[in-house]
Structure 1
Amino acid sequence: MYNGDEKVIIVEGKSDKIKVREVLIEPAEIVCTNGTIGQTELEDLADRLFDRDVYILTDADDSGEKLRKQLKRELPEARHIYIDRTYRQVESCPGHHLASVLIRAGFDADTVFLKKNDLRW
């Protein structure tokens, strides 16, 4: 269901969605794939997100990379946001790191999460 937000962030799980929502201060739809997504669901998602600014933010692990590759095939225009591999999961990465990567991707994130010298352009 389209809620009027032009930007869409695709994440793996509900915990990732909650974490992103805590840091983000602009309206954006956050779509959960629940870790995996079937081909039919993926095609439906691609159709639903046509003409929207789509960003893919998956975990920095094997399952996240597998999902990212699937999404890349169906949503070739999507932009990719990466967390540092040392944090492995979006839900467990520090708020300052997530805010930093979201800001670099062009989102408005709550700067209260940023620490001095953490935002590297």
Structure 2
Amino acid sequence: MKIKEIIVVEGKDDTRAIQRAVNADTIETNGSAISQETIEKIKLAQRVRGVIVFTDPDFPGEKIRKYIVEHVPDCKHAFIDKKHALPSHGRGLGVEHASPKVIQEALRDAQQMEAYGEEWISKDELIDAGLIGGPKAKGRRERMGEILKIGYTNGKQLHKRIMMFQISKEEFTKALKIVLQEEQD
């Protein structure tokens, strides 16, 4: 599988995992302290070939993603779930632990975040759906992130991602039905 866009990852291990899964070029951020030089490379890559940001599903990975979005807003974003980013042994969490199949699926499903537009799903609807507050909220958000392919979020981030990815009320309702049905099974 050949990827046209340049994939932004956190480090060398992520680059090796990407290259095991697909034929693609990468830019490594070398952690969360992204240099201005790296931002300039990402800007150039976006102009020339397009960029897919593919960071780890953890706090530092989200911090890197947000920083890139601030400076290079039109990138696509790929996400993997935490359960697919765990090593078979030892500690850590990251893209480097994902299987080639999981990486391929995440890249195939990469989406471009859009500027905020019309609010289709309100924060009150997220609360009513049990996605913010309550004993099952975290698990429900985790599963919604998987279904909608927007990654795991906390309650505040969920509303933001729904807006950025322009998730329609229909898509949201369909995903929520799946989550609630799975809870009953």
Please say whether Structure 1 and Structure 2 have the same fold, judged by a TM-score greater than 0.5. yes
Matches of 1:40 and 1:75, distance apart in 2: 12
1:35 aligns with 2:31: yes
1:69 aligns with 2:66: yes
Please give the root-mean-square deviation of Cα atoms over the aligned residues, in Å.
2.3
Identity %: 29
Q: 2:43–2:72: 8 Å Cα contact kept in structure 1?
A: no
Closer, same or farther: CA 47–101 of 1 in aligned 2, 3 Å: closer
| Between structures 1 and 2, the one with greater strand share | 1
In the TM superposition, residue 46 of structure 1 has moved relative to its aligned partner by 4.0
TM-score by length of 2: 0.49
**1:95 aligns to what?**
100
**SS of the residue aligned with 1:36?**
coil
In the TM superposition, residue 68 of structure 1 has moved relative to its aligned partner by 0.4
**SS of the residue aligned with 1:83?**
coil
Point out where structure 1 has 5 or more consecutive residues left out of the alignment: 107-120
Closer, same or farther: CA 54–69 of 1 in aligned 2, 3 Å: same
**SS of the residue aligned with 1:49?**
helix
Query: Match for 1:23 among 3, 21, 24?
Result: 21
Matches of 1:67 and 1:91, distance apart in 2: 16
Q: 1:46–1:74: 8 Å Cα contact kept in structure 2?
A: no
**SS of the residue aligned with 1:73?**
helix
Matches of 2:16 and 2:68, distance apart in 1: 21
Supply the AA of the counterpart residue of 1:100: E
1:44 aligns with 2:40: yes
TM-score by length of 1: 0.71
Q: How many residues align?
A: 101
Bigger relative contact order (CA 8 A; separation at least 6): 1
Q: Which has more radius of gyration?
A: 2
Point out where structure 2 has 5 or more consecutive residues left out of the alignment: 86-92, 112-148, 150-185
Q: 1:55–1:79: 8 Å Cα contact kept in structure 2?
A: yes
Closer, same or farther: CA 82–94 of 1 in aligned 2, 3 Å: same
1:50-101 CA-partner distances (Å, limit 9, x unpaired):
4131110000001000000000111100010001122241001122211221
After the TM superposition, which parts of structure 1 deviate over 4 Å for at least 4 consecutive aligned residues? Answer: none
| Between structures 1 and 2, the one with greater helix share | 2
Matches of 1:103 and 1:6, distance apart in 2: 11
Q: 2:29–2:38: 8 Å Cα contact kept in structure 1?
A: no
Within a 5 Å distance, the mapping from 1:3-22 to structure 2 comes to 7-22=5-20
